[in-house]
């Protein structure tokens, strides 16, 4: 006798003799079936404090997980420790996860004690694990879904890594999918904080197949451990195999890792690169964080894909299993064991054997099994040798062999492919798409003919996957049969005349079968039909009916290819499958076929053809005249728009000029296109241009107050008004100038090439020399000068004119924060950041270089990625991928990061990108000390001064109130969603030129913010604070304040 618990909480006694029978709960009258599974999984305990136990879900290394209900009949999951010895580990797990709130992470509610054993209460996830889903599939998931699963895992773990939590146990069994196909990560039994020692050995919790090498060696826990596990999961999703097959190899520190592309050649090279980088054995060569991994995946799949849950829902709605039917082969029956396979379903029978769906009990995977009938028993060694060689070969359109053998009779198994037989395309009128499929089949046959001959090609031996990619599932069988082969009537019509005469199988027989299959698909009937004797006679003596007599719409080229393959004489057929592929390629490219004979045109058709040609010429002439008129009018319209845009540009009406120029660039491909693009770029920059100076300066510095700008070029020094760009003073020195900076009284301190220092008071034009020499100047920020001398690096206070501190170092590359409060040393890929006054090291990294440093932030560069960190907490704020980086600057208020590349200048704030400027060959820039402005030197030898502050332009914002009953998905199904507002139940969604504010709790649109300007679309949205968000367009950025919105709504 055992006890089970109903959903209402009532305990019911059940007995083994009631197995398989139905009963009713005496409290709620629910019908309960007492299955063997319920009997087996009945729990050891039935109550845990206020919770009634329904069933046992699983067992881990520290406790048991139960499904329970509380007094309000709400379902939860409880993990209870085995004994008091595991209480500490369970409490540590709860403390790590108690404050975590994420839709893709199981929620931990509370921790309590039951008879000296701790237990935690979690959300109950009603769904299946990724492992269960993969075991139930006949093949692999589509590539896009595999990438989206890895992307969701990376984003979820990236959230945890930001909280300094490392999961350490990512594997398919710890990834659940709810009934709505939402992904949830579970089982944090061995989770650790970042950089901590591994407290729990992985062999007690995680699978070694998914554990990073450094984790198996019990080194400090790093985010790269989880990235390796994500790569292993992605590898298995793509290939159906583990990264490392032999567990003995896991004990070695040097493991050879295969690649997805080596196992399945149809996997794109970009995905192969992503997966290889994620599972790299060297931790330093792996992805440094989840951000670049997510970026690489998003770069491949784009933004137009449906969400993962919707993709999975569509996939499983279309996925069905066929019911098993009785086998036609008396030697192997359904539900019998054959070798190490369990037969699940009969598929079909051909010349050589019977094909089944089966379960490989060695690895618990679904495969396709082919059992050969009447094969020559004397060729067992030849059979093994042949399939050993075939198994080594990889081709994207040939099913991968998983095993083969000769006992109890010859067989081989292949990967189970999810697709439809080629016969599903019978009667298609999409001839070029069909030609593309048969082109792939022909190239595959050519590949096969280098080592073997198929000898039994028919439509059932070719599957078509979702992306219309063919897969050949039989090969290499003809040499293992005696001449007296069994010919099944359903396959007879694809057999060549030479096979009927029991001749040796050659590649010409495969080409004949190829043509017969193509004939069948084009005409909806095989080349020959009737009784077996009739079909055999027709194959030997009768030519196939021309395809155009059956369907005149069939292209002549396809008819020629098909009939040439079906020629009775092998010498008249295509010599190789490669020639068939070449003719199909010519057809797809609308080019003449190779050696296509000249066709005779019947005399009766000549008059019709001439009349048709005459009508065609007349229509073409009229069409050409109309096109000329339309083209002339379009050119005139384009010219008028260009003149108007050019006039607006000269009048410095930048925004209107840019809008008109964009219209020209979109509709014109002629002489106005490049000119319009030039106006667009210049207008975009000039909208925020304050002044320009035609000088190619080498260095620029703002004064301490920002009222003037110092610049130098060779031996000349300039003083420029920062408001107007007017050159106030200039002076030529005797030596080349190396550095310039400003003193407290706006005097300019000049450092010359002869190591001397001079002070220039540009107001009274006095110049006087300083007695101290500086041997090798490295950098100058405000009043602090850095220079090198005798294996030392020294800092010098220019205002008090005294040396502050010296370091014993040979590093000559450094960055200083304003006024020298902090300093960063760069030596190759090693960086150290120090507090100058306290002589304390704040940060160290062996894989990066410091690009910029302020009093609150610092920016590091590592392998085309720029990372922005908080100097005090060392928390990563931004991770940006960028090419051709020249320099970086952080604004004095530490709110913005500027990245300078060869052709652009990008300005970021901590949460989102603000603006991007097209700027050719920028090489030097400087921030204004008090304003949101900067100066840069570009290719055209000019200085450009920009204002990049955001303001709310209320005159261009209209407010509308949507119907509360309309959810945002019902109202706009194609919107792009962005992150929620900080600490608020709000989110932004955008579509074209409208931004919507969405209440995520009530699931409704609160209001919309459209921009009423032609051809302007919102590109991105991001939150600046709890009450402000920014809308980024290609011309400007608009900041929206929620308090201002409330005022407008009241008005």
Averaged pLDDT of the chain:
77
Look-up of token digits 């008879």: 115
Q: Measuring CA to CA, how many Å separate 118 from each of 98, 124, 544? A: 15, 18, 80
Residue scoring higher pLDDT (121 or 533): 121
How much is the average pLDDT of 1032-1038?
67
pLDDT at 492 over 50: yes
Question: Of 370 and 606, which is predicted with more confidence?
Answer: 370
- Core vs surface per residue 485-522: b (16+ CB within 10 A) or e: beebeebbbbbbbbbeeeeebbbbbbbbbbbbbbbbbb
- Choose from 184-188, 401-405, 770-774, 847-851 the range with maximum mean pLDDT: 184-188
Dist CA 79 CA 46 (whole Å): 14
- For the chain, the farthest-separated pair of C-alpha atoms sits apart, in whole angstroms, at 116
pLDDT-based confidence at residue 311 (cuts at 50, 70, 90) = confident
pLDDT band at 140 (very low <50, low <70, confident <90, very high): confident
DSSP 8-state symbol, 398 = B
Give yes or no for a contact between 76 and 121, defined as CB atoms under 8 angstroms apart.
yes
Confidence of residue 310 (pLDDT cuts 50, 70, 90): confident
The pLDDT value recorded for residue 319 is 52
Measure Cα distances from 923 to 815, 899, 914, 929, 939 in Å: 17, 11, 21, 20, 8
> CB-based burial of residue 326 (10 Å sphere; 0-12 exposed, 13-18 middle, 19+ buried)?
exposed
- Give the pLDDT score at 112: 94
* Mean pLDDT, residues 700-713: 85
Q: How far apart are CA 91 and CA 79, in angstroms?
A: 11
Q: pLDDT tens, 336-394?
A: 678 888 888 777 776 677 888 888 888 778 888 888 876 666 677 777 877 777 777 77
State mean pLDDT over 67-81.
90
**Better-predicted residue by pLDDT, 41 or 124:** 124
Nearest to 747 by CA among 761, 757, 766: 761
- Residue 970 is predicted with a pLDDT of 35
Q: Rounded CA gap, 588 and 263, in Å? A: 30
Q: What is the mean pLDDT of residues 800-814?
A: 79
pLDDT computed for residue 516 by the predictor: 93
pLDDT in tens, 505-545: 888 999 999 999 999 999 988 898 887 778 888 888 888 98
Beta carbons within 8 Å of 958's beta carbon, 6+ residues apart: 1009, 1010, 1012
Tokens of 110: 């509370």
pLDDT reading at 940 higher than 80:
no
Tokens of 814: 């450094």
720: which 2 tokens? Answer: 């420029």
Work out the pLDDT band at 71, boundaries 50, 70, 90: confident
Q: What is the pLDDT of residues 392-422, one digit of tens each?
A: 777 888 888 888 888 888 888 988 877 777 8
Q: Rounded to whole angstroms, how far apart are CA atoms 958 and 645?
A: 27
Query: Do the Cβ atoms of 367 and 360 come closer than 8 Å?
Result: yes
Answer yes or no: are the C-beta atoms of 115 and 74 closer than 8 Å.
no
Q: Residue 442 has what pLDDT?
A: 93
Q: Is the dihedral of CA 90, 94, 97, 102 positive or negative?
A: positive
Q: Which of 181-185, 204-208, 640-644, 990-994 has the lowest mean pLDDT?
A: 204-208
Q: Is the distance from CB of 152 to CB of 104 less than 8 angstroms?
A: yes
Q: What is the pLDDT of residue 439?
A: 93
Residue 930: its pLDDT value, please?
75
Residue 879 to residue 867: CA distance in whole angstroms? 4
Contact 206, 187 (CB under 8 A): no
Q: Which has the higher per-residue pLDDT, 185 or 999?
A: 185
| Averaged pLDDT, 1004-1023 | 62
Q: Does residue 1049 register a pLDDT over 60?
A: no
pLDDT more than 90, % of the chain: 13
Residue 127 CA to residue 184 CA, distance in Å, equals: 10
Query: Are 226 and 157 in contact, with CB atoms under 8 Å apart?
Result: yes
Residue 40 predicted with pLDDT over 90: no
Pairing relationship of beta strands 1020-1023 and 822-827 according to DSSP bridges: unpaired
Instruction: Name residue, tokens 């083994």.
Output: 16
3-state SS class at 201:
coil
* pLDDT at residue 884, rounded to an integer: 76
For the CA atoms of 4, 6, 10, 15, the dihedral, rounded to the nearest 10 degrees, stands at -30
Task: State the DSSP code for 897.
Answer: E
Task: Evaluate whether 777 touches 767 at the Cβ level (below 8 Å).
Answer: no
Q: Which residue has the tokens 């010859």?
A: 410
Of 210, 259, 213, the C-alpha closest to 239 is: 259
CA geometry: angle 168, 173, 175, nearest 5 deg: 75
Question: What residues form DSSP beta bridges with 5?
Answer: 11
Residue whose C-alpha is closest to residue 1048's, from 947, 959, 965, 972:
959
CB 920 within 8 A of CB 694: no
pLDDT confidence of residue 584: 92
pLDDT digits (tens, 9 = 90+) for 534-583: 888 888 888 898 998 888 889 989 999 999 999 999 999 999 999 999 99
Identify the residue with better confidence: 312 or 597: 312
């Amino acid at each position: 006798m055992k006890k089970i618990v109903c959903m209402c909480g009532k305990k019911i006694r059940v007995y083994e003799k009631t197995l398989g029978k139905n009963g009713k709960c005496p409290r709620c009258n629910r019908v309960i079936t007492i299955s063997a599974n319920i009997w087996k999984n009945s729990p050891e305990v039935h109550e845990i404090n206020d919770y009634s136990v329904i069933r046992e879900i699983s067992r881990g290394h520290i406790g048991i997980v139960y499904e329970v209900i509380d007094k309000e009949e709400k379902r939860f999951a409880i993990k209870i420790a085995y004994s008091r010895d595991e209480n500490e580990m369970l409490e540590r797990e709860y403390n790590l996860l108690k404050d975590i709130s994420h839709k893709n992470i199981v929620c931990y509610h509370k921790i309590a004690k039951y008879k000296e054993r701790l237990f935690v209460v979690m959300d109950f996830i009603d769904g299946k694990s990724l492992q269960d889903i993969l075991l139930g599939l006949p093949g692999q998931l589509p590539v896009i879904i595999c990438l989206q699963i890895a992307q969701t895992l990376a984003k979820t773990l990236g959230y945890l890594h930001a909280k300094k939590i490392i999961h350490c146990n990512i594997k398919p069994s710890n990834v659940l999918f709810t009934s709505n196909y939402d992904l949830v990560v579970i089982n944090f039994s061995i989770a650790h904080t970042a950089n901590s020692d591994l407290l729990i050995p992985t062999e007690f919790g995680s699978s070694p197949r998914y554990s990073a090498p450094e984790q198996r060696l019990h080194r400090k826990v790093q985010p790269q451990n989880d990235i390796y596990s994500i790569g292993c999961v992605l590898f298995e999703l793509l290939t159906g195999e583990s990264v490392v097959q032999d567990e003995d190899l896991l004990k070695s520190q040097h493991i050879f890792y295969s690649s997805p592309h080596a196992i399945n050649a149809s996997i794109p090279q970009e995905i192969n690169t992503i997966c290889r980088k994620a599972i790299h054995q060297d931790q330093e060569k792996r992805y440094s964080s989840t951000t670049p991994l997510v970026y690489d995946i998003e770069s491949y799949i784009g933004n137009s894909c449906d969400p993962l849950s919707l993709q999975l829902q569509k996939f499983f709605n279309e996925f069905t299993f066929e019911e098993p039917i009785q086998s036609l082969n008396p030697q192997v029956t359904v539900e019998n064991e054959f070798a190490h396979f369990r037969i699940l379903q009969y598929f079909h029978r051909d010349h050589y054997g019977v094909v089944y769906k089966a379960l490989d009990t060695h690895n618990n995977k679904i495969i396709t099994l082919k059992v050969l009938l009447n094969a020559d028993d004397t060729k067992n060694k030849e059979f093994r040798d042949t399939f050993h060689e075939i198994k080594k070969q990889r081709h994207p359109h040939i099913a991968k062999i998983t095993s083969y053998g000769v006992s109890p009779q010859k067989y081989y198994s292949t990967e189970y492919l999810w697709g439809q037989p080629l016969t599903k395309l019978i009667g298609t009128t999409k001839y070029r798409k069909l030609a593309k499929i048969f082109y792939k089949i022909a190239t595959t046959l050519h590949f096969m003919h280098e080592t073997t001959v198929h000898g039994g090609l028919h439509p059932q031996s070719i599957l078509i996957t979702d992306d219309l990619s063919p897969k050949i599932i039989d090969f290499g069988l003809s040499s293992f049969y005696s001449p007296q082969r069994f010919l099944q009537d359903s396959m007879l019509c694809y057999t060549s005349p030479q096979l009927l005469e029991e001749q040796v199988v050659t590649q010409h027989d495969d080409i004949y079968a190829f043509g017969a299959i193509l004939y069948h698909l084009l005409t909806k009937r095989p080349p020959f039909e009737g009784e077996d004797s009739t079909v055999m006679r027709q194959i030997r003596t009768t030519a196939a009916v021309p395809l155009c007599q059956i369907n005149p719409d069939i292209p002549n080229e396809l008819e020629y290819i098909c009939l040439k393959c079906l020629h009775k004489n092998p010498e008249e057929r295509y010599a190789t499958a490669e020639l068939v592929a070449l003719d199909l390629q010519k057809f797809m490219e609308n080019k003449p076929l190779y050696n296509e004979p000249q066709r005779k045109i019947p005399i009766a058709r000549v008059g019709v053809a001439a009349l048709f040609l005459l009508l065609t010429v007349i229509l073409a002439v009229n069409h050409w005249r109309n096109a000329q008129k339309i083209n002339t009018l379009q050119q005139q319209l384009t010219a008028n728009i260009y003149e108007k845009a050019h006039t607006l540009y000269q009048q410095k009406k930048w925004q209107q000029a840019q809008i008109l120029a964009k219209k020209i660039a979109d509709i014109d491909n002629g002489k106005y296109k490049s000119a319009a693009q030039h106006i667009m770029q210049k207008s975009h920059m000039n909208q925020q241009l304050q002044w320009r100076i035609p000088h190619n300066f080498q260095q620029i510095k703002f004064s301490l107050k920002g009222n003037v700008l110092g610049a130098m070029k060779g031996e000349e020094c300039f003083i420029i008004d920062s408001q107007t760009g007017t050159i106030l003073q200039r002076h030529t020195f005797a030596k080349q100038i190396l550095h310039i900076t400003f003193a407290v009284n706006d005097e300019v301190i000049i450092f010359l090439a002869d190591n001397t220092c001079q002070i220039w008071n540009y107001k009274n034009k006095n110049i006087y020399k300083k007695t101290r020499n500086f041997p090798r100047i490295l950098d100058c920020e405000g009043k602090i000068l850095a220079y090198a001398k005798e294996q030392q690096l020294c800092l010098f206070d220019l205002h008090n004119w005294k040396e502050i501190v010296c370091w014993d170092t040979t590093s000559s590359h450094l960055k200083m924060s304003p006024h020298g409060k902090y300093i960063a040393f760069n030596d190759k890929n090693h960086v150290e950041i120090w507090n100058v006054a306290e002589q304390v090291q704040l940060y160290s990294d062996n894989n990066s270089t410091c690009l910029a440093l302020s009093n609150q932030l610092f920016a590091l560069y590592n392998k085309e990625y720029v990372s922005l960190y908080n100097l005090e907490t060392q928390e990563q704020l931004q991770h940006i991928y960028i090419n051709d980086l020249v320099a970086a600057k952080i604004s004095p208020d530490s709110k913005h990061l500027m990245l300078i590349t060869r052709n652009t200048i990008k300005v970021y704030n901590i949460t989102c990108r603000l603006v991007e400027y097209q700027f050719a060959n920028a090489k030097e820039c400087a921030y204004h000390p008090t304003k949101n402005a900067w100066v840069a030197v570009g290719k055209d030898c000019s200085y450009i001064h920009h204002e990049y502050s955001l303001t709310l332009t209320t005159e261009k914002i209209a407010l509308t109130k949507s119907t509360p009953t309309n959810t945002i998905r019902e109202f706009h199904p194609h919107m792009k969603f962005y992150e929620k507002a900080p600490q608020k139940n709000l989110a932004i969604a955008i579509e074209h030129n409208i931004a919507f504010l969405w209440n995520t709790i009530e699931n409704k649109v609160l209001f919309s913010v459209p921009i009423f300007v032609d051809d302007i679309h919102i590109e991105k949205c991001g939150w600046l604070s709890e009450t402000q968000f920014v809308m980024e367009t290609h011309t400007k950025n608009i900041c929206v304040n929620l308090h201002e919105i409330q005022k407008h709504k009241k008005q």
